Structure 1
Protein backbone atom coordinates (compact mmCIF):
# COMPACT_ATOMS: atom_id res chain seq x y z
CA UNK A 1 0.00 0.00 0.00
CA UNK A 2 1.32 3.52 -0.86
CA UNK A 3 1.97 6.15 1.77
CA UNK A 4 -0.90 8.23 0.41
CA UNK A 5 -3.31 5.30 0.79
CA UNK A 6 -2.22 4.72 4.37
CA UNK A 7 -2.88 8.37 5.24
CA UNK A 8 -6.35 8.18 3.63
CA UNK A 9 -7.21 5.05 5.65
CA UNK A 10 -6.18 6.68 8.91
CA UNK A 11 -8.23 9.76 8.11
CA UNK A 12 -11.27 7.64 7.24
CA UNK A 13 -10.96 5.71 10.52
CA UNK A 14 -10.79 8.95 12.52
CA UNK A 15 -13.91 10.29 10.77
CA UNK A 16 -15.84 7.10 11.50
CA UNK A 17 -14.87 7.25 15.19
CA UNK A 18 -15.88 10.91 15.46
CA UNK A 19 -19.31 10.18 13.92
CA UNK A 20 -19.78 7.25 16.32
CA UNK A 21 -18.94 9.46 19.30
CA UNK A 22 -21.34 12.14 18.10
CA UNK A 23 -24.13 9.60 17.70
CA UNK A 24 -23.52 8.17 21.16
CA UNK A 25 -23.63 11.69 22.55
CA UNK A 26 -27.00 12.26 20.93
CA UNK A 27 -28.37 9.14 22.57
CA UNK A 28 -27.09 10.36 25.93
CA UNK A 29 -29.02 13.63 25.77
CA UNK A 30 -32.25 12.26 24.36
CA UNK A 31 -35.56 12.73 26.31
CA UNK A 32 -36.07 10.25 29.14
CA UNK A 33 -38.17 7.22 28.29
CA UNK A 34 -41.87 7.43 29.29
CA UNK A 35 -42.94 4.78 31.77
CA UNK A 36 -45.48 2.36 30.32
CA UNK A 37 -49.07 3.19 31.20
CA UNK A 38 -50.80 1.22 33.97
CA UNK A 39 -53.11 -1.08 32.05
CA UNK A 40 -54.66 -2.73 35.09
CA UNK A 41 -58.47 -2.37 34.94
CA UNK A 42 -60.53 -1.62 38.06
CA UNK A 43 -62.15 -4.63 39.67
CA UNK A 44 -65.56 -5.41 38.24
CA UNK A 45 -68.59 -4.64 40.38
CA UNK A 46 -70.29 -8.01 40.84
CA UNK A 47 -73.42 -8.88 42.81
CA UNK A 48 -74.58 -12.41 43.61
CA UNK A 49 -78.05 -13.36 44.85
CA UNK A 50 -79.00 -16.48 46.82
CA UNK A 51 -82.78 -16.99 46.95
CA UNK A 52 -85.07 -19.71 48.35
CA UNK A 53 -87.65 -20.15 45.59
CA UNK A 54 -88.05 -19.66 41.82
CA UNK A 55 -87.82 -16.06 40.64
CA UNK A 56 -91.39 -16.42 39.35
CA UNK A 57 -92.49 -16.40 43.01
CA UNK A 58 -93.39 -12.97 44.40
CA UNK A 59 -90.76 -13.14 47.16
CA UNK A 60 -87.73 -14.21 45.12
CA UNK A 61 -88.99 -12.25 42.12
CA UNK A 62 -88.63 -9.01 44.05
CA UNK A 63 -84.99 -9.73 44.82
CA UNK A 64 -84.30 -10.63 41.20
CA UNK A 65 -85.91 -7.37 40.08
CA UNK A 66 -83.48 -5.58 42.39
CA UNK A 67 -80.61 -7.51 40.82
CA UNK A 68 -81.68 -6.43 37.34
CA UNK A 69 -81.85 -2.83 38.44
CA UNK A 70 -78.30 -3.10 39.81
CA UNK A 71 -77.18 -4.36 36.41
CA UNK A 72 -79.00 -1.63 34.49
CA UNK A 73 -78.25 1.37 36.71
CA UNK A 74 -75.00 0.44 38.47
CA UNK A 75 -73.37 -1.59 35.71
CA UNK A 76 -73.13 -4.65 37.93
CA UNK A 77 -72.28 -8.12 36.71
CA UNK A 78 -75.03 -10.25 38.23
CA UNK A 79 -75.71 -13.89 38.98
CA UNK A 80 -78.28 -15.73 41.05
CA UNK A 81 -78.81 -19.21 42.45
CA UNK A 82 -81.86 -20.84 44.03
CA UNK A 83 -80.94 -22.65 47.26
CA UNK A 84 -83.77 -23.95 49.41
CA UNK A 85 -81.84 -26.67 51.24
CA UNK A 86 -79.98 -25.35 54.31
CA UNK A 87 -77.14 -27.80 53.57
CA UNK A 88 -76.25 -25.67 50.54
CA UNK A 89 -76.36 -22.21 52.10
CA UNK A 90 -72.68 -21.83 53.03
CA UNK A 91 -71.45 -23.20 49.71
CA UNK A 92 -73.59 -20.73 47.76
CA UNK A 93 -72.14 -17.78 49.67
CA UNK A 94 -68.59 -19.13 49.48
CA UNK A 95 -68.86 -19.77 45.75
CA UNK A 96 -69.79 -16.16 45.03
CA UNK A 97 -67.16 -14.75 47.40
CA UNK A 98 -64.37 -16.94 46.03
CA UNK A 99 -65.19 -15.72 42.52
CA UNK A 100 -64.56 -12.12 43.50
CA UNK A 101 -68.11 -10.88 43.92
CA UNK A 102 -68.33 -7.47 45.56
CA UNK A 103 -71.67 -8.07 47.28
CA UNK A 104 -73.52 -11.28 48.10
CA UNK A 105 -77.21 -11.09 49.02
CA UNK A 106 -79.12 -13.77 50.89
CA UNK A 107 -82.80 -13.25 50.27
CA UNK A 108 -84.22 -14.36 53.59
CA UNK A 109 -83.70 -14.51 57.33
CA UNK A 110 -82.68 -18.16 57.04
CA UNK A 111 -79.37 -17.26 55.35
CA UNK A 112 -77.94 -15.15 58.17
CA UNK A 113 -75.88 -17.91 59.82
CA UNK A 114 -74.21 -18.81 56.52
CA UNK A 115 -73.57 -15.13 55.73
CA UNK A 116 -72.06 -14.54 59.15
CA UNK A 117 -69.67 -17.49 58.86
CA UNK A 118 -68.59 -16.90 55.27
CA UNK A 119 -68.14 -13.14 55.83
CA UNK A 120 -65.36 -13.91 58.30
CA UNK A 121 -63.58 -15.99 55.68
CA UNK A 122 -63.88 -13.30 52.97
CA UNK A 123 -63.32 -9.91 54.66
CA UNK A 124 -63.08 -8.08 51.31
CA UNK A 125 -66.59 -9.11 50.24
CA UNK A 126 -69.76 -7.40 51.46
CA UNK A 127 -72.70 -9.50 52.64
CA UNK A 128 -76.32 -8.74 53.41
CA UNK A 129 -79.46 -10.73 54.09
CA UNK A 130 -83.09 -9.69 53.94
CA UNK A 131 -83.89 -10.27 57.58
CA UNK A 132 -81.67 -11.29 60.46
CA UNK A 133 -80.07 -9.87 63.56
CA UNK A 134 -76.46 -11.05 63.27
CA UNK A 135 -73.68 -8.95 61.75
CA UNK A 136 -69.93 -8.70 61.25
CA UNK A 137 -67.58 -5.98 60.01
CA UNK A 138 -68.57 -6.74 56.39
CA UNK A 139 -72.04 -8.23 56.96
CA UNK A 140 -75.10 -6.07 57.64
CA UNK A 141 -78.62 -7.50 57.28
CA UNK A 142 -81.60 -5.35 56.41
CA UNK A 143 -84.77 -5.78 58.43
CA UNK A 144 -87.97 -5.00 56.52
CA UNK A 145 -90.20 -6.74 59.05
CA UNK A 146 -90.97 -3.80 61.40
CA UNK A 147 -92.37 -1.70 58.57
CA UNK A 148 -94.20 -4.62 56.98
CA UNK A 149 -95.87 -5.46 60.27
CA UNK A 150 -97.15 -1.87 60.28
CA UNK A 151 -98.31 -2.09 56.67
CA UNK A 152 -100.20 -5.32 57.30
CA UNK A 153 -101.73 -3.85 60.45
CA UNK A 154 -103.40 -1.30 58.17
CA UNK A 155 -104.53 -4.12 55.87
CA UNK A 156 -105.98 -5.93 58.89
CA UNK A 157 -108.01 -2.86 59.77
CA UNK A 158 -109.32 -2.74 56.20
CA UNK A 159 -110.15 -6.46 56.12
CA UNK A 160 -111.77 -6.16 59.54
CA UNK A 161 -114.29 -3.73 58.08
CA UNK A 162 -115.08 -5.96 55.08
CA UNK A 163 -115.42 -9.39 56.70
CA UNK A 164 -118.93 -10.78 57.19
CA UNK A 165 -117.98 -13.84 59.23
CA UNK A 166 -115.42 -12.11 61.43
CA UNK A 167 -112.89 -14.85 60.63
CA UNK A 168 -109.57 -14.43 58.84
CA UNK A 169 -106.79 -16.96 58.31
CA UNK A 170 -103.14 -16.33 57.50
CA UNK A 171 -100.76 -18.81 55.88
CA UNK A 172 -97.06 -18.62 56.57
CA UNK A 173 -93.84 -20.52 57.18
CA UNK A 174 -91.91 -21.13 60.39
CA UNK A 175 -89.61 -18.23 59.53
CA UNK A 176 -89.79 -14.88 61.37
CA UNK A 177 -89.55 -12.89 58.13
CA UNK A 178 -92.77 -14.48 56.84
CA UNK A 179 -94.56 -15.06 60.15
CA UNK A 180 -94.10 -11.76 62.01
CA UNK A 181 -95.78 -9.53 59.39
CA UNK A 182 -98.96 -11.60 59.79
CA UNK A 183 -98.86 -10.82 63.50
CA UNK A 184 -99.25 -7.20 62.42
CA UNK A 185 -102.28 -8.17 60.34
CA UNK A 186 -103.71 -10.02 63.36
CA UNK A 187 -103.50 -6.93 65.54
CA UNK A 188 -105.19 -4.77 62.91
CA UNK A 189 -107.94 -7.29 62.16
CA UNK A 190 -108.68 -8.00 65.81
CA UNK A 191 -108.75 -4.29 66.65
CA UNK A 192 -112.36 -4.52 65.48
CA UNK A 193 -114.33 -6.19 68.30
CA UNK A 194 -115.58 -9.68 67.50
CA UNK A 195 -113.01 -10.48 64.80
CA UNK A 196 -110.68 -13.45 65.18
CA UNK A 197 -107.56 -14.35 63.27
CA UNK A 198 -105.81 -17.73 63.12
CA UNK A 199 -102.57 -18.74 61.46
CA UNK A 200 -101.61 -21.87 59.52
CA UNK A 201 -97.90 -22.69 59.34
CA UNK A 202 -97.02 -24.54 56.12
CA UNK A 203 -94.06 -26.89 56.03
CA UNK A 204 -92.78 -26.16 52.51
CA UNK A 205 -92.76 -22.72 50.95
CA UNK A 206 -92.59 -24.24 47.46
CA UNK A 207 -95.57 -26.61 47.88
CA UNK A 208 -98.39 -24.89 46.00
CA UNK A 209 -100.71 -27.87 46.49
CA UNK A 210 -100.36 -27.79 50.27
CA UNK A 211 -101.14 -24.08 50.31
CA UNK A 212 -104.27 -24.61 48.24
CA UNK A 213 -105.48 -27.51 50.38
CA UNK A 214 -105.00 -25.52 53.59
CA UNK A 215 -106.88 -22.56 52.12
CA UNK A 216 -109.81 -24.71 51.01
CA UNK A 217 -110.08 -26.04 54.56
CA UNK A 218 -110.05 -22.51 55.97
CA UNK A 219 -112.85 -21.49 53.63
CA UNK A 220 -114.84 -24.56 54.65
CA UNK A 221 -114.36 -23.55 58.29
CA UNK A 222 -115.94 -20.15 57.68
CA UNK A 223 -113.06 -17.77 57.00
CA UNK A 224 -113.91 -15.11 54.43
CA UNK A 225 -110.60 -13.23 54.52
CA UNK A 226 -107.35 -15.04 53.62
CA UNK A 227 -103.80 -13.72 53.52
CA UNK A 228 -100.63 -15.66 52.68
CA UNK A 229 -97.01 -14.76 53.26
CA UNK A 230 -95.53 -18.13 52.36
CA UNK A 231 -93.38 -17.81 49.23
CA UNK A 232 -94.64 -19.95 46.32
CA UNK A 233 -97.08 -21.86 48.54
CA UNK A 234 -99.02 -18.61 48.82
CA UNK A 235 -100.01 -18.98 45.17
CA UNK A 236 -101.95 -22.09 46.17
CA UNK A 237 -103.93 -20.01 48.67
CA UNK A 238 -104.86 -17.54 45.95
CA UNK A 239 -105.81 -20.39 43.60
CA UNK A 240 -108.26 -21.66 46.22
CA UNK A 241 -109.75 -18.19 46.68
CA UNK A 242 -110.09 -17.70 42.92
CA UNK A 243 -111.82 -21.06 42.47
CA UNK A 244 -114.04 -21.12 45.55
CA UNK A 245 -114.33 -17.51 46.65
CA UNK A 246 -117.19 -16.38 44.48
CA UNK A 247 -118.26 -12.92 45.60
CA UNK A 248 -117.92 -13.52 49.33
CA UNK A 249 -114.36 -14.75 49.99
CA UNK A 250 -111.52 -12.27 49.68
CA UNK A 251 -107.74 -12.15 49.96
CA UNK A 252 -105.01 -9.63 50.66
CA UNK A 253 -101.98 -9.84 48.35
CA UNK A 254 -98.51 -9.71 49.89
CA UNK A 255 -94.92 -8.94 48.88
CA UNK A 256 -95.67 -8.20 45.20
CA UNK A 257 -98.73 -7.09 43.26
CA UNK A 258 -100.89 -10.23 43.37
CA UNK A 259 -104.14 -8.65 42.23
CA UNK A 260 -104.08 -10.45 38.89
CA UNK A 261 -103.75 -13.89 40.50
CA UNK A 262 -107.33 -13.71 41.73
CA UNK A 263 -108.72 -10.55 40.12
CA UNK A 264 -112.24 -10.97 41.48
CA UNK A 265 -111.10 -11.72 45.01
CA UNK A 266 -107.82 -9.93 45.90
CA UNK A 267 -108.91 -6.65 47.47
CA UNK A 268 -105.48 -5.02 47.60
CA UNK A 269 -101.83 -5.98 47.52
CA UNK A 270 -99.49 -4.78 50.24
CA UNK A 271 -96.33 -4.48 48.17
CA UNK A 272 -92.94 -4.70 49.80
CA UNK A 273 -90.59 -2.72 47.57
CA UNK A 274 -87.55 -4.88 48.21
CA UNK A 275 -85.75 -3.60 45.10
CA UNK A 276 -85.67 -0.10 46.59
CA UNK A 277 -84.06 -1.31 49.81
CA UNK A 278 -81.58 -3.69 48.15
CA UNK A 279 -80.60 -1.14 45.53
CA UNK A 280 -79.56 1.25 48.29
CA UNK A 281 -77.35 -1.47 49.78
CA UNK A 282 -75.76 -2.27 46.41
CA UNK A 283 -75.09 1.40 45.72
CA UNK A 284 -73.23 1.72 49.01
CA UNK A 285 -71.21 -1.40 48.19
CA UNK A 286 -70.15 0.02 44.83
CA UNK A 287 -69.25 3.39 46.34
CA UNK A 288 -67.34 1.79 49.21
CA UNK A 289 -69.62 3.25 51.87
CA UNK A 290 -71.18 -0.06 52.92
CA UNK A 291 -71.27 -0.28 56.72
CA UNK A 292 -71.28 -3.64 58.47
CA UNK A 293 -71.70 -4.39 62.13
CA UNK A 294 -75.36 -3.40 62.49
CA UNK A 295 -78.91 -4.16 61.31
CA UNK A 296 -80.59 -1.62 59.05
CA UNK A 297 -84.26 -1.58 60.11
CA UNK A 298 -86.95 -0.13 57.82
CA UNK A 299 -90.31 1.21 59.04
CA UNK A 300 -93.47 2.60 57.50
CA UNK A 301 -91.73 5.99 57.57
CA UNK A 302 -89.27 4.86 54.86
CA UNK A 303 -90.95 6.28 51.78
CA UNK A 304 -91.41 4.00 48.80
CA UNK A 305 -90.61 0.74 50.58
CA UNK A 306 -94.19 -0.15 51.59
CA UNK A 307 -96.93 0.43 49.03
CA UNK A 308 -100.61 -0.46 48.55
CA UNK A 309 -102.04 -1.33 45.14
CA UNK A 310 -105.83 -1.50 45.18
CA UNK A 311 -107.73 -3.81 42.84
CA UNK A 312 -109.89 -1.43 40.81
CA UNK A 313 -112.23 -4.29 39.85
CA UNK A 314 -113.32 -4.38 43.49
CA UNK A 315 -113.65 -0.64 43.99
CA UNK A 316 -117.30 -1.13 45.03
CA UNK A 317 -116.07 -3.12 48.04
CA UNK A 318 -112.94 -1.14 48.92
CA UNK A 319 -114.72 2.18 48.83
CA UNK A 320 -113.12 5.62 48.98
CA UNK A 321 -114.15 5.75 52.63
CA UNK A 322 -112.25 2.52 53.39
CA UNK A 323 -109.19 3.76 51.51
CA UNK A 324 -109.34 6.91 53.61
CA UNK A 325 -109.45 4.70 56.70
CA UNK A 326 -106.25 2.98 55.54
CA UNK A 327 -104.58 6.37 55.00
CA UNK A 328 -105.67 7.50 58.46
CA UNK A 329 -104.31 4.30 60.00
CA UNK A 330 -100.96 4.74 58.22
CA UNK A 331 -100.72 8.32 59.46
CA UNK A 332 -101.29 7.13 63.04
CA UNK A 333 -98.66 4.43 62.62
CA UNK A 334 -96.16 6.97 61.33
CA UNK A 335 -96.80 9.35 64.20
CA UNK A 336 -96.64 6.63 66.81
CA UNK A 337 -100.27 7.01 67.86
CA UNK A 338 -100.73 3.34 66.89
CA UNK A 339 -97.97 0.95 67.92
CA UNK A 340 -97.71 -2.57 66.53
CA UNK A 341 -96.50 -4.88 69.26
CA UNK A 342 -93.74 -7.40 68.56
CA UNK A 343 -94.81 -10.86 69.83
CA UNK A 344 -92.79 -12.19 72.74
Structure 2
Protein backbone atom coordinates (compact mmCIF):
# COMPACT_ATOMS: atom_id res chain seq x y z
CA UNK A 1 0.00 0.00 0.00
CA UNK A 2 1.38 3.40 -0.98
CA UNK A 3 2.20 5.86 1.79
CA UNK A 4 -0.11 8.86 2.04
CA UNK A 5 2.02 11.97 1.69
CA UNK A 6 -0.72 14.30 2.84
CA UNK A 7 -0.17 15.17 6.49
CA UNK A 8 -0.34 18.03 8.91
CA UNK A 9 3.08 19.44 7.95
CA UNK A 10 2.07 20.37 4.45
CA UNK A 11 0.26 23.43 5.72
CA UNK A 12 3.50 24.86 7.10
CA UNK A 13 5.57 24.77 3.92
CA UNK A 14 7.82 21.75 4.63
CA UNK A 15 8.23 20.26 1.17
CA UNK A 16 11.63 18.61 1.57
CA UNK A 17 11.89 14.84 1.37
CA UNK A 18 10.83 12.84 4.40
CA UNK A 19 12.96 9.92 5.57
CA UNK A 20 10.80 8.48 8.39
CA UNK A 21 7.28 7.08 8.49
CA UNK A 22 5.42 6.67 11.79
CA UNK A 23 2.60 4.14 11.64
CA UNK A 24 0.10 5.49 14.18
CA UNK A 25 -2.36 2.89 15.41
CA UNK A 26 -5.62 4.30 16.75
CA UNK A 27 -9.04 3.01 17.74
CA UNK A 28 -12.46 4.39 16.85
CA UNK A 29 -15.78 2.84 17.80
CA UNK A 30 -14.08 -0.46 18.65
CA UNK A 31 -12.18 -0.73 15.35
CA UNK A 32 -8.41 -0.37 14.98
CA UNK A 33 -6.92 1.86 12.27
CA UNK A 34 -3.35 2.41 11.07
CA UNK A 35 -2.38 5.76 9.56
CA UNK A 36 1.14 6.60 8.32
CA UNK A 37 2.54 10.02 9.20
CA UNK A 38 5.72 11.28 7.52
CA UNK A 39 8.52 13.09 9.34
CA UNK A 40 12.32 13.36 9.53
CA UNK A 41 14.65 11.16 11.52
CA UNK A 42 16.61 14.14 12.81
CA UNK A 43 13.50 15.81 14.23
CA UNK A 44 12.18 12.61 15.82
CA UNK A 45 15.45 11.43 17.36
CA UNK A 46 16.31 14.86 18.77
CA UNK A 47 12.84 15.34 20.28
CA UNK A 48 12.21 11.96 21.93
CA UNK A 49 14.38 9.20 23.41
CA UNK A 50 11.64 6.74 22.53
CA UNK A 51 11.72 7.71 18.85
CA UNK A 52 15.50 7.58 18.94
CA UNK A 53 15.49 3.99 20.25
CA UNK A 54 12.86 2.89 17.73
CA UNK A 55 14.82 4.38 14.85
CA UNK A 56 18.04 2.78 16.08
CA UNK A 57 16.40 -0.65 16.23
CA UNK A 58 15.29 -0.45 12.56
CA UNK A 59 17.19 -1.20 9.38
CA UNK A 60 19.81 1.55 8.92
CA UNK A 61 20.15 0.90 5.19
CA UNK A 62 16.50 1.68 4.49
CA UNK A 63 15.93 5.07 2.89
CA UNK A 64 12.57 5.34 4.65
CA UNK A 65 12.67 4.37 8.32
CA UNK A 66 9.43 2.88 9.62
CA UNK A 67 8.34 2.79 13.24
CA UNK A 68 5.06 1.83 14.95
CA UNK A 69 3.29 3.77 17.71
CA UNK A 70 0.25 2.27 19.45
CA UNK A 71 -2.07 5.06 20.61
CA UNK A 72 -5.33 3.12 20.75
CA UNK A 73 -5.95 4.03 24.37
CA UNK A 74 -5.85 7.78 23.70
CA UNK A 75 -8.95 9.39 22.17
CA UNK A 76 -8.50 11.29 18.91
CA UNK A 77 -4.90 10.04 18.94
CA UNK A 78 -4.07 10.53 15.26
CA UNK A 79 -4.97 14.22 15.23
CA UNK A 80 -3.27 14.70 18.58
CA UNK A 81 -0.11 13.05 17.24
CA UNK A 82 -0.14 15.26 14.15
CA UNK A 83 -0.61 18.36 16.30
CA UNK A 84 2.34 17.31 18.47
CA UNK A 85 4.50 16.65 15.41
CA UNK A 86 3.67 19.99 13.83
CA UNK A 87 4.60 21.62 17.14
CA UNK A 88 8.07 20.08 16.86
CA UNK A 89 8.52 21.69 13.44
CA UNK A 90 6.92 25.08 14.03
CA UNK A 91 7.17 25.62 17.77
CA UNK A 92 3.43 26.34 17.93
CA UNK A 93 0.64 24.00 19.00
CA UNK A 94 -2.65 23.92 17.10
CA UNK A 95 -5.67 22.96 19.21
CA UNK A 96 -8.19 23.07 16.37
CA UNK A 97 -8.06 19.31 15.73
CA UNK A 98 -7.13 17.94 19.17
CA UNK A 99 -7.73 19.02 22.74
CA UNK A 100 -5.04 20.05 25.20
CA UNK A 101 -5.35 16.86 27.26
CA UNK A 102 -5.20 14.63 24.16
CA UNK A 103 -1.98 16.19 22.89
CA UNK A 104 -0.49 16.02 26.37
CA UNK A 105 -1.33 12.31 26.66
CA UNK A 106 0.32 11.62 23.29
CA UNK A 107 3.41 13.68 24.20
CA UNK A 108 3.83 11.71 27.42
CA UNK A 109 3.28 8.39 25.68
CA UNK A 110 5.88 9.28 23.03
CA UNK A 111 8.22 10.83 25.64
CA UNK A 112 8.48 14.27 24.03
CA UNK A 113 9.49 16.58 26.93
CA UNK A 114 9.54 19.82 24.89
CA UNK A 115 5.87 19.49 23.93
CA UNK A 116 4.92 18.30 27.41
CA UNK A 117 6.53 21.30 29.12
CA UNK A 118 4.93 23.67 26.63
CA UNK A 119 1.50 22.19 27.36
CA UNK A 120 2.03 22.27 31.11
CA UNK A 121 2.89 25.96 30.93
CA UNK A 122 -0.50 26.63 29.34
CA UNK A 123 -2.49 25.07 32.19
CA UNK A 124 -4.62 27.63 34.05
CA UNK A 125 -3.81 28.34 37.66
CA UNK A 126 -6.11 26.72 40.21
CA UNK A 127 -8.21 29.28 42.07
CA UNK A 128 -8.07 29.08 45.88
CA UNK A 129 -11.03 27.62 47.72
CA UNK A 130 -13.58 30.14 49.07
CA UNK A 131 -13.75 30.57 52.88
CA UNK A 132 -17.01 28.61 53.22
CA UNK A 133 -15.47 25.63 51.40
CA UNK A 134 -12.43 25.72 53.67
CA UNK A 135 -14.81 25.73 56.66
CA UNK A 136 -16.60 22.63 55.33
CA UNK A 137 -13.26 20.92 54.81
CA UNK A 138 -12.36 21.68 58.42
CA UNK A 139 -15.62 20.20 59.72
CA UNK A 140 -15.12 17.09 57.61
CA UNK A 141 -11.55 16.70 58.90
CA UNK A 142 -12.79 16.93 62.50
CA UNK A 143 -15.48 14.34 61.85
CA UNK A 144 -13.10 11.88 60.17
CA UNK A 145 -10.31 12.26 62.78
CA UNK A 146 -11.58 11.88 66.38
CA UNK A 147 -8.14 12.61 67.78
CA UNK A 148 -8.06 15.94 66.01
CA UNK A 149 -11.53 16.72 67.34
CA UNK A 150 -10.44 16.08 70.93
CA UNK A 151 -7.38 18.29 70.59
CA UNK A 152 -9.47 21.01 68.96
CA UNK A 153 -12.05 21.08 71.79
CA UNK A 154 -9.26 21.16 74.32
CA UNK A 155 -7.66 24.14 72.65
CA UNK A 156 -11.02 25.98 72.17
CA UNK A 157 -10.28 26.78 68.57
CA UNK A 158 -10.98 25.51 65.07
CA UNK A 159 -7.78 24.71 63.15
CA UNK A 160 -7.29 25.72 59.56
CA UNK A 161 -7.18 22.95 56.95
CA UNK A 162 -3.82 21.29 57.06
CA UNK A 163 -1.63 20.51 54.09
CA UNK A 164 -2.08 16.79 54.67
CA UNK A 165 -5.85 17.21 54.36
CA UNK A 166 -5.79 19.37 51.26
CA UNK A 167 -3.42 16.89 49.65
CA UNK A 168 -4.66 13.41 50.69
CA UNK A 169 -2.04 10.86 51.58
CA UNK A 170 -1.55 7.55 49.83
CA UNK A 171 -3.50 5.74 52.57
CA UNK A 172 -6.74 7.44 51.54
CA UNK A 173 -8.95 5.20 49.43
CA UNK A 174 -11.36 7.84 48.12
CA UNK A 175 -11.44 8.13 44.29
CA UNK A 176 -13.11 11.54 44.51
CA UNK A 177 -9.90 13.54 44.97
CA UNK A 178 -9.04 15.65 41.92
CA UNK A 179 -5.31 16.47 42.01
CA UNK A 180 -3.58 18.33 39.22
CA UNK A 181 -2.45 15.21 37.43
CA UNK A 182 -0.70 17.02 34.59
CA UNK A 183 1.78 18.68 36.97
CA UNK A 184 3.52 15.43 37.88
CA UNK A 185 5.02 12.45 36.16
CA UNK A 186 2.39 10.02 34.92
CA UNK A 187 1.98 6.88 37.00
CA UNK A 188 5.37 6.28 38.67
CA UNK A 189 6.02 2.56 38.97
CA UNK A 190 6.57 2.20 42.71
CA UNK A 191 5.55 -1.11 44.24
CA UNK A 192 5.54 0.42 47.73
CA UNK A 193 2.48 2.53 46.94
CA UNK A 194 0.05 -0.35 47.51
CA UNK A 195 -3.05 -1.42 45.62
CA UNK A 196 -4.62 2.04 45.71
CA UNK A 197 -1.66 3.76 44.06
CA UNK A 198 -3.78 4.60 41.02
CA UNK A 199 -6.34 6.68 42.93
CA UNK A 200 -4.73 10.02 42.10
CA UNK A 201 -5.23 9.27 38.41
CA UNK A 202 -8.94 8.47 38.85
CA UNK A 203 -11.68 11.09 39.03
CA UNK A 204 -15.35 10.61 39.94
CA UNK A 205 -17.68 11.91 37.23
CA UNK A 206 -21.43 11.80 36.72
CA UNK A 207 -21.34 8.67 34.55
CA UNK A 208 -18.80 6.73 36.65
CA UNK A 209 -15.03 7.01 37.13
CA UNK A 210 -12.66 8.69 34.66
CA UNK A 211 -8.98 8.03 33.94
CA UNK A 212 -7.41 11.49 34.06
CA UNK A 213 -4.55 10.37 31.81
CA UNK A 214 -6.61 9.55 28.69
CA UNK A 215 -10.11 10.70 29.83
CA UNK A 216 -11.67 7.24 29.44
CA UNK A 217 -14.72 6.63 31.64
CA UNK A 218 -15.66 3.34 33.30
CA UNK A 219 -18.66 2.44 35.42
CA UNK A 220 -16.66 0.86 38.27
CA UNK A 221 -13.68 2.19 40.20
CA UNK A 222 -11.84 -1.14 39.99
CA UNK A 223 -12.19 -1.15 36.20
CA UNK A 224 -10.49 2.22 35.69
CA UNK A 225 -7.81 1.32 38.27
CA UNK A 226 -7.11 -1.84 36.28
CA UNK A 227 -7.01 0.28 33.11
CA UNK A 228 -4.40 2.64 34.62
CA UNK A 229 -2.25 -0.28 35.73
CA UNK A 230 -2.32 -1.91 32.31
CA UNK A 231 -1.91 1.06 29.96
CA UNK A 232 -0.34 3.95 31.84
CA UNK A 233 2.37 2.54 34.10
CA UNK A 234 5.71 4.23 33.58
CA UNK A 235 7.76 2.52 32.28
CA UNK A 236 5.15 0.54 30.31
CA UNK A 237 4.49 -2.94 31.65
CA UNK A 238 5.41 -5.76 29.30
CA UNK A 239 5.35 -9.50 29.92
CA UNK A 240 6.29 -11.46 26.81
CA UNK A 241 8.01 -14.36 28.56
CA UNK A 242 6.36 -17.77 28.16
CA UNK A 243 5.56 -19.58 31.39
CA UNK A 244 5.65 -16.43 33.53
CA UNK A 245 4.98 -17.29 37.19
CA UNK A 246 3.19 -14.01 37.96
CA UNK A 247 5.95 -12.69 40.19
CA UNK A 248 4.27 -9.28 40.12
CA UNK A 249 0.65 -8.17 40.07
CA UNK A 250 1.24 -6.30 36.80
CA UNK A 251 2.49 -9.44 35.05
CA UNK A 252 -0.66 -11.26 36.09
CA UNK A 253 -2.81 -8.41 34.81
CA UNK A 254 -1.04 -8.47 31.44
CA UNK A 255 -1.65 -12.20 31.03
CA UNK A 256 -5.33 -11.99 31.91
CA UNK A 257 -5.81 -8.87 29.80
CA UNK A 258 -4.62 -10.83 26.77
CA UNK A 259 -6.82 -13.75 27.83
CA UNK A 260 -9.99 -11.67 28.33
CA UNK A 261 -9.62 -9.11 25.54
CA UNK A 262 -7.67 -10.91 22.82
CA UNK A 263 -8.50 -14.56 23.65
CA UNK A 264 -4.81 -15.46 23.86
CA UNK A 265 -4.35 -18.69 25.88
CA UNK A 266 -2.79 -18.36 29.32
CA UNK A 267 0.63 -19.96 30.00
CA UNK A 268 0.63 -23.66 30.84
CA UNK A 269 1.96 -22.92 34.31
CA UNK A 270 -1.38 -21.40 35.36
CA UNK A 271 -3.77 -23.71 37.17
CA UNK A 272 -7.14 -22.77 35.69
CA UNK A 273 -8.91 -25.25 37.94
CA UNK A 274 -8.41 -23.00 40.96
CA UNK A 275 -9.64 -19.94 39.05
CA UNK A 276 -12.76 -21.16 37.18
CA UNK A 277 -16.20 -20.39 38.55
CA UNK A 278 -18.35 -23.54 38.90
CA UNK A 279 -21.54 -21.54 38.20
CA UNK A 280 -20.47 -19.70 35.02
CA UNK A 281 -17.60 -19.42 32.55
CA UNK A 282 -15.76 -16.68 34.47
CA UNK A 283 -12.03 -17.14 35.11
CA UNK A 284 -10.64 -15.07 38.00
CA UNK A 285 -7.13 -13.71 38.21
CA UNK A 286 -6.48 -15.45 41.53
CA UNK A 287 -8.19 -17.98 43.84
CA UNK A 288 -8.95 -15.19 46.31
CA UNK A 289 -10.76 -13.19 43.63
CA UNK A 290 -12.64 -16.36 42.65
CA UNK A 291 -14.03 -16.63 46.19
CA UNK A 292 -15.38 -13.09 45.95
CA UNK A 293 -16.93 -13.90 42.57
CA UNK A 294 -18.59 -17.10 43.83
CA UNK A 295 -20.05 -15.13 46.74
CA UNK A 296 -22.19 -13.28 44.22
CA UNK A 297 -23.76 -16.56 43.15
CA UNK A 298 -24.17 -17.95 46.66
CA UNK A 299 -24.85 -15.15 49.16
CA UNK A 300 -23.68 -16.02 52.67
CA UNK A 301 -26.79 -15.67 54.80
CA UNK A 302 -26.67 -16.99 58.31
CA UNK A 303 -30.43 -17.28 58.50
CA UNK A 304 -30.40 -19.77 55.62
CA UNK A 305 -27.67 -21.86 57.15
CA UNK A 306 -29.53 -22.26 60.48
CA UNK A 307 -31.83 -25.26 60.56
CA UNK A 308 -35.33 -24.39 61.80
CA UNK A 309 -38.11 -26.57 63.21
CA UNK A 310 -41.81 -25.74 62.76
CA UNK A 311 -44.48 -26.43 65.37
CA UNK A 312 -47.30 -28.58 63.98
CA UNK A 313 -49.88 -26.66 66.06
CA UNK A 314 -48.93 -23.11 65.12
CA UNK A 315 -46.67 -21.13 62.80
CA UNK A 316 -43.90 -20.63 65.38
CA UNK A 317 -40.38 -21.73 64.49
CA UNK A 318 -37.71 -23.04 66.86
CA UNK A 319 -33.98 -23.22 66.32
CA UNK A 320 -33.57 -26.23 68.58
CA UNK A 321 -35.65 -29.30 67.79
CA UNK A 322 -36.15 -30.35 71.42
CA UNK A 323 -38.05 -27.10 72.12
CA UNK A 324 -40.85 -27.94 69.66
Asked which structure has the greater CA Rg, the reply is 1
Larger strand fraction of residues: 1
Q: Which has the higher helix share?
A: 1
Considering Cα pairs closer than 8 Å and 6+ residues apart, tell me whether 1 or 2 has the greater RCO: 1
Give the TM-score, by structure 2 length: 0.25
